[in-house]
Chain A
Amino acid sequence: MTAFLDNILGGLALGSVYALVALGFVVIFKASGVLNFAHGSLLLFGGYLTAVLHDDLGFAGALALAVLATAALAGVLDRFLLQRGGQDAHSAHVQTIVTIGVDIVLLTDLSRRIGGDLLSLGDPWGDSVTELGPLTVADSRLAAIVVSALVIGAVFALFRFTAWGLSLRAAAEDLEAAALMGVRLSRVRAGAWCLAGALAALAAVFLAAFPAPGLERTTGQIALNAFPAAILGGLASPAGALAGSMIIGLTEALVVGYQSDLHVLGEGFGDVAPYAVMLLVLLVRPTGLFGAKGTARV
């Protein structure tokens, strides 16, 4: 029982981190129609900045700067590279391919800098643990859950209560109608990219924190698991991204936790599980859990 609860908690922590990544991915897709394949590299960029700056600035200062810098990088990328291609659906496909190129360039440079090192991000939790009844939980995991919940709550409030959020949702529904209302599409889009960049930089901290050994050049790839989470949720639905992330996080934690009982599936099934779950869900609901929810009457 304790092992089960331990796995559940681990899954929730992992799901929270995936949610930060998947939410950014979905926000970008909603605002620009682009699948951002450079998302993992943006995450690694944020993590790397935190790692190299925390000695001088302290953890909080380094993280704040890394979040701002990653947001700025994502915003600049969109505004001055991708948006030059135009705003229609066809250009979105081209821009998606462009993000693959950006990913390769960014990842190559960061890999060169990180090399084979394991970088510490200097987070304040270290390997300390908290006793919760029968459970022993890493503080970093509790922090991941709490911080993600707060940040994601704030993002949903942004969607719902601000002019930017309304502009984003209107533009996602109908680009031209939004333009006719005087929504500045280019700003709304770049804002979405900035937000996604900031979330990715934050997620890097928790992906590199205990029990993970630190930031590696492959940390960005872990973020790949957030993609099936986003797809599973319906790709254009922030709430779906959240639900999908939790499902993927829990699945992964449970599969890894009970690996010895699942040996028929072979070693390392934990890496495959997110995609297996995605395929299963899509078989039942082809548009994802929250996809195509809107009922339109003509």
Chain B
Amino acid sequence: MPEAPPDSSPTLRVETVDVTYGRALSALRSVSLTVPPATVVALLGANGAGKTTLLRAVSGTLRLHRGAITAGTIRYGDTVLDGGDPVAAVRAGVVQVPEGRRVFAGLSVDENLRSGGLGLSRRTRTAQIQESRDRVFTLFPRLAERTHQAAGLLSGGEQQMLAIGRALMAAPRLLLLDEPSLGLAPQMVQRIAEVIREINAQGTAVLLVEQNAGMALSLADHAHVLEVGETRLEGPAGELARTDAVRRLYLGESAEDQGAA
């Protein structure tokens, strides 16, 4: 597969995508979403709304869950990503950090990081891994101290750092983050939010799926709210944070709070 000439600023365009699991269960219906270069887009919604499904559609891993895109297109710049090939996504510069961290517990921290570069072509791998490792260690100095430790022995926060670091090894231009704050202490959530801001400031676009809507909206430029497989709301994150529905459903404020504010 000839590699496409590096387009410095591709945009992710998800257009009217339908996803079905097991040929019967409809998980997404006509969902569209755009992630322009170097922006943060948040994807909100309750459990089962289809947030993770959308990320799987982009990263090409639906097939592992017996799901398929049945309509619509996903493009990243000129690269078509709706063919269900995870390698194509990684090589195009789109890398997903799975929900629940999913680090390789029995492998060392260093091996986990190296595994992040496995999707790169052999030609670019060695040089890229060296460069990316330096970047990851600058972002997460704590990982540098534990390169030989088994990843399963890290704390939850450290595992999340490793999961993000592992994804950064492929030098993505678009990072798909699935619930990075899940199960972490408030202080660690703060730290992860800073990291996302920093990664974005370095020019990487982020598509962020979060239950923690407060955190997500504070980071995002643009946000989408999914409800049972369809887009319910979308707009600039700041505006969305002020709408009643979002405040009530995702920011945990009651009607009286809004009156007081």
Contacts and interface: CB of A to CB of B under 8 A. Distances in A.
Interface of A: 86-88, 163, 166-167, 169-170, 173-184, 293-298
Interface of B: 59, 61, 64, 66, 86-87, 89-91, 95-98, 102-107, 111, 114-116, 118-120, 122, 125, 150, 152-156, 166-167, 170
A184 B64 contact: no
Given A175-B64, A180-B98, A182-B90, A166 B115 contact: yes
Contact of A294 (B91, B116, B125, B152): B152
A183 B107 contact: no
Contacts of A178: 104, 115, 118
Contact of A176 (B64, B111, B125, B152): B64
A182 B105 contact: no
B119 A182 contact: yes
B118 A166 contact: yes
7 contacts: A175-B64, A176-B102, A181-B119, A181-B170, A295-B153, A297-B152, A298-B156
Contact of B106 (A169, A177, A183): A169
A186 to B, nearest CB: 10
B105 A180 contact: no
A173 B61 contact: no
A217 B115 CA distance: 43
A233 B36 CA distance: 52
A294 to B, nearest CB: 4
Contacts of A184: 87
Give 4 closest A-B pairs by Cβ, nearest first: A182-B119, A182-B90, A294-B106, A296-B152
Contacts of B120: 182
Contacts of B87: 182, 184
A88 B170 CA distance: 26
B153 A179 contact: no
Given A180-B96, A181-B118, A183-B119, A169 B107 contact: yes
A180 B59 contact: yes
Contacts of B66: 86, 88
B64 A173 contact: no
A229 B210 CA distance: 47
Max chain B Cβ within 10 angstroms of own Cβ: one of A163, A173, A181: A181
A298 B104 CA distance: 13
A182 to B, nearest CB: 2
Max chain B Cβ within 10 angstroms of own Cβ: one of A88, A170, A183, A293: A170
B106 A173 contact: yes
Given A163-B125, A181-B115, A183-B115, 10 more contacts: A166-B118, A167-B118, A169-B106, A178-B104, A178-B118, A181-B118, A181-B170, A182-B90, A295-B150, A296-B152
Contacts of A298: 156
Contacts of B122: 163
Contacts of B104: 169-170, 173-174, 177-178
Contacts of A167: 115, 118
A182 B91 contact: yes
B106 A181 contact: no
A179 to B, nearest CB: 5
B23 to A, nearest CB: 14
A294 B150 contact: yes
A63 B109 CA distance: 41
B154 A180 contact: no
Contacts of B115: 166-167, 170, 178, 181, 183
B102 A174 contact: yes
B86 A182 contact: yes
A184 B120 CA distance: 11
B86 A173 contact: no
Contact of B64 (A88, A170, A296): A88
Nearest to B103: A177
A298 B105 CA distance: 10
Given A182-B86, A182-B120, A182-B170, A177 B98 contact: yes
Contacts of A173: 104-107
B118 A176 contact: no
Nearest to B152: A296
A295 B152 CA distance: 6
Contacts of A296: 105, 152
Given A166-B111, A169-B106, A87 B118 contact: no
Contacts of A175: 64
A98 to B, nearest CB: 19
A89 to B, nearest CB: 11
Contacts of A166: 107, 111, 114-115, 118
A65 to B, nearest CB: 28
A87 B66 CA distance: 10
A49 B102 CA distance: 44
A183 B64 contact: no
A129 to B, nearest CB: 44
